[in-house]
Structure 1
Amino acid sequence: MDLNMIYTNIRTGAQDSAGAARSAYQRDYDRIIFSSAFRRLQNKTQVFPLPGSVFVHNRLTHSLEVSSVGRSLGSIVGEHIVREYGSSLTEESKDFYLHNLSNVIAAACLCHDIGNPAFGHSGEDAIASYFDRNEGSLQGFFKPEEWADLVNFEGNSNAIRVLTQQQVGKDAGGLKLTYSTLASIAKYPCEALAKDFSKKDLHRKKFGFFQNEASTFKEIADKIGLLKISDTPLVYRRHPFVWLVEAADDMCYNIIDMEDAHRLGIVKSEACEDLFKELIEASGTSSKEKIEGKLSQIQNANERISYLRAKAINALITIASEVYITHFQEILSGRLNTSLLDIFSKKNDTLKKIEKFSIQNIYRHRAVVEIENAGYNVMYELLDHFVPPILKDKNKRKNYDEMALQLLPQQFVYEGTEVSHYQKVLGVLDYVSGMTDNYATDLYRKIKGIDIGMTI
């Protein structure tokens, strides 16, 4: 891939005039920050849903922190690209890598989870399994490639839709982000039929766009120079910037989930401290003596973990940027098939220890699993309330079907002779997947008759 051709300020929808004070990529960041889809992340589960009075991370705070880490990675890598490849770069490209690559990565990190539904991964599972469990009554409404989208529902592919879809009554182009930012969140640049269930191909582990957005993704891929593997099914290699977004996300959830679990009392201080210190020492970014000297001045348990968390993330930024630079030519050619932190883990198993500890002590903790089960049922039942009525012909809908559909906001109702069943269901998914944890729970309780009363 040509370093002069893998970025562009072209954006979805009508092109707007450039503001003198901000680059196109800074405007991406600002548009995401001010969007309603981003604001809703403040009440969407990261790991610990609805934790009560203890403040832990939600999807919004997680995204902000990932964006901060991503900005650092973009700055480090951008400086390296100009230093090592400057002779083959245009002046415009030098300016981009020095001053705007960091903005692209920060913006992409900010919106990388914007397509995730309420209740974390259990929300994703509920949507996918709703269609899978109702295959007999629903599959006949859809083409095979459309059905694959539904039974494999993915927050990653939904993010592309949230960011680019024109809802009823709204402007074309969605948030109108640059193709550079949109390409940077496409961890799995393929359609659902190309999903690799063996998970041997990293870029096909999941899928990255719905059939409805396939033409939009093709346009992005063509303009930004993605390497195409096949047309049927449609599969591309990852964009080089994706690896930095993925690394920023990986390091934040690996470390910060531990910090949250400690704050909730799920993980003991000693275990958390030991794992963080081992990681910092393995990175070579700080000596054991310096760490212990600083900890000797901090008595508060939460502050001790916060200090080690900061040091651990700094260590991982150094590690990830070094791995990226080492494997840069493999990344440009599309040959790399292992995430940056997994490459580090093959040489040092400290991160694997943290992942294994988290699975056993955090993600399988009874309190987490109980709420995940509840969230799964909420999302499943909401879909069951809206999907069957929307698929019925208008003249065959009963009164209870019409009442159900009256609860759908108009921007999510796609009707008309040219609208397919697939597009109608996507409208329902736009509504349900966009709900916050609290909103989904409240609506579920009302339609099930658990809470009865007027809400204005």
Structure 2
Amino acid sequence: MTWQGLLADQRFGKPYTQEHNKGRTPFHKDYDRLIFSSAFRRMGHKTQVHSLSHNDHVHNRLTHSLEVSSVGRSLGIQVGQSLQNQPHWPSWIEPHDLGAIVQSACLAHDIGNPPFGHFGESSIRHWFASYAQQGGMTQLNLDEQSDLLNFEGNAQGLRTLTQLEYHQFNGGMRLTYATLGSFVKYPWLSNSVQCERKSKFGSLQSEKHILADIADRVGLIQQGDFQWCRHPLVYLMEAADDICYAIIDLEDGVELGIIDEQDVLELLAPITGPAEVPKRTAMVDAYYSTRRLALLRGKVIDYLVQSAAQTFMQHIPALLEGKLEGDLISHCDPITQKVIGDAKALAKNRIFLAPERHRTELAAYSVLEKLLDGFVPAALAIGEPSDDKRLSFKAEKHLALMGAHRPEQGATAYQALCCTMDFIGGMTDNYAVDLARQLSGEMK
């Protein structure tokens, strides 16, 4: 792969122009388009880790994405500064352009996530598995069934960026190929060998030709049928996400009283050194109970950013050959690997297994179950052959609620279900809860 191709500034769904506003490159415009989109705005009411939390201090998908984009920008600029004097580097790409590409990819990395975060994904998969066992997906071929049985926010994100926002089914946000390539974390389909290995995929069957177009324009190396290597900048986006995900989850755990602050301070000590404990007073205790970790966060993130950027530069040949195994963090120095690994383990063992999460996740599952029970049969009824072309009263009312996401008359079963997931997947947590409650007969 070459940087000339990987950093293509042509826009998906729009004729190419070389005329750019001075000081505001196409990559900076990508960031603006994402920031002003309704899909991005809705993330302000979507779960990061703690579903339906009443504590306004914990993170949601929007605040998490903004923080990841900030770290990603720093990573991109540092790498850009190291690369700009190398042979074959495009003369028109500045370090801040590379920073903007990674920043935009980071900003969009969770844009396809459904209500209730990763638990929402699991709930949707479980519902479709049960629906299939009842014979409810016989109208779909095996590849189409795979998309729903393995519902994936990353694939829904590509559909959101290229199909749903702004220019609907005509280029979507019309982002640059460089940004789209850096966004696609898993450039393969749900039925690929890679998906079997990683349990993740980056495109639905409905967008597979868009994925192929992106891969072709930026020059990704093909590794199978509709399967490519990753764009090198994906590793920076993923590293930024890992850094924020690991550190910020722990802060939220302390904020909610699920884990003890001292456990986190000890975990970060390889980077921060022993935490200085001030002389205790009532005022000091009140201040440091919520702020000490925030004060140390900058030092920790700075160390991890430096480590990830240096590691990226050390593996440039493997990255350009599409041969780097694992993620970037797994190749970093031992301290980086230990801190992030221990942070993820602490979150998994203490935060994700907390009783409070079990209660809210059961409630979230009930919400999604109610929505899918109503909207999926209604959407499938649109394409069902019948002597009586009229839909049932109940189906028509469900479809009316879908608004712009309502499937067109005569849509295939797969197209109708994609539209349904556009509607349900795009909901905020609060809207999903309110709508499910109303559909259950609760009028207030």
1:452 alignment partner in structure 2: 443
Quick one: which of 126, 151, 154 aligns to 1:153? 151
Answer yes or no: is 1:344 the counterpart of 2:342.
Answer: no
For residues 187-242 of structure 1, give each alpha carbon's deviation from its aligned partner in whole angstroms, at most 9, with x where no partner exists.
Answer: 1100110154663xxxx5411001111111111111100110112xx210000110
SS in 2 for 1:320: helix
1:314 alignment partner in structure 2: 302
Verify the 8 A CA contact 1:188 1:205 in the aligned structure 2: no
Query: Structure 2 counterpart of 1:213, which letter?
Result: E
Q: CA deviation at 1:180?
A: 0.9
> How high is the sequence identity, in percent, across the aligned residues?
37
Return closer, same or farther for 1:167/1:270 CA change in 2, 3 Å cut-off. Answer: closer
Query: Structure 2 counterpart of 1:371, which letter?
Result: T
Structure 1 residues 211-220 or 62-71, which shifts more? 211-220
For residues 12-57 of structure 1, give each alpha carbon's deviation from its aligned partner in whole angstroms, at most 9, with x where no partner exists.
Answer: 2234774344110000000000000000000000011222144110
Answer yes or no: is 1:40 the counterpart of 2:42.
Answer: yes
Distance 2:369 2:33 in 1: 31
Answer yes or no: is 1:103 the counterpart of 2:92.
Answer: no
Q: CA deviation at 1:8?
A: 1.0
State the TM-score, normalizing by the size of structure 2: 0.91
1:330 alignment partner in structure 2: 318
Return closer, same or farther for 1:25/1:296 CA change in 2, 3 Å cut-off. Answer: farther
Return closer, same or farther for 1:161/1:170 CA change in 2, 3 Å cut-off. Answer: closer
**Which consecutive residues of structure 2, in runs of 5 or more, have no partner in the other structure?**
none
Distance 2:347 2:38 in 1: 32
Verify the 8 A CA contact 1:108 1:181 in the aligned structure 2: yes
Distance 1:219 1:295 in 2: 61
Query: Structure 2 counterpart of 1:147, which letter?
Result: Q
1:284 alignment partner in structure 2: none
Distance 1:304 1:422 in 2: 51
Verify the 8 A CA contact 2:246 2:344 in the aligned structure 1: yes
SS in 1 for 2:348: helix
Answer yes or no: is 1:119 the counterpart of 2:103.
Answer: no
Distance 1:302 1:165 in 2: 42
Verify the 8 A CA contact 1:146 1:211 in the aligned structure 2: yes
2:391 alignment partner in structure 1: 397
Structure 1 residues 107-116 or 322-331, which shifts more? 322-331
SS in 1 for 2:59: coil
Quick one: which of 407, 410, 415 aligns to 1:414? 407
Q: CA deviation at 1:430?
A: 0.3
Query: Structure 1 counterpart of 2:300, which letter?
Result: A
Return closer, same or farther for 1:345/1:405 CA change in 2, 3 Å cut-off. Answer: farther
Q: CA deviation at 1:166?
A: 4.5
Return closer, same or farther for 1:384/1:168 CA change in 2, 3 Å cut-off. Answer: farther
Return closer, same or farther for 1:53/1:240 CA change in 2, 3 Å cut-off. Answer: closer
Matched ranges for 1:126-275 at <5 A: 126-135=123-132, 136-166=134-164, 170=168, 172-196=170-194, 199=197, 204-231=198-225, 234-275=226-267
For residues 251-274 of structure 1, give each alpha carbon's deviation from its aligned partner in whole angstroms, at most 9, with x where no partner exists.
Answer: 101000001111112121211111
SS in 1 for 2:206: helix
State the TM-score, normalizing by the size of structure 1: 0.89
Aligned length: 431
2:365 alignment partner in structure 1: 376
For residues 391-412 of structure 1, give each alpha carbon's deviation from its aligned partner in whole angstroms, at most 9, with x where no partner exists.
Answer: 1237263222222222211x11
Query: Structure 2 counterpart of 1:68, which letter?
Result: S
Structure 1 residues 19-28 or 391-400, which shifts more? 391-400
Quick one: which of 75, 78, 81 aligns to 1:76? 78
Structure 1 residues 7-16 or 55-64, which shifts more? 7-16
Return closer, same or farther for 1:354/1:320 CA change in 2, 3 Å cut-off. Answer: same
Return closer, same or farther for 1:294/1:6 CA change in 2, 3 Å cut-off. Answer: farther
Query: Structure 1 counterpart of 2:320, which letter?
Result: L
Return closer, same or farther for 1:97/1:22 CA change in 2, 3 Å cut-off. Answer: closer
Return closer, same or farther for 1:397/1:110 CA change in 2, 3 Å cut-off. Answer: same
Structure 1 residues 294-303 or 33-42, which shifts more? 294-303
Distance 1:381 1:257 in 2: 29
2:4 alignment partner in structure 1: 4
Q: CA deviation at 1:311?
A: 1.5
1:285 alignment partner in structure 2: none
SS in 1 for 2:51: coil
Structure 1 residues 238-247 or 117-126, which shifts more? 117-126
**Which consecutive residues of structure 1, in runs of 5 or more, have no partner in the other structure?**
282-287
Distance 2:343 2:91 in 1: 43
Tell me the C-alpha RMSD between the 2 structures.
Answer: 2.3
Query: Structure 2 counterpart of 1:100, which letter?
Result: D
Query: Structure 2 counterpart of 1:25, which letter?
Result: F
Return closer, same or farther for 1:428/1:400 CA change in 2, 3 Å cut-off. Answer: same
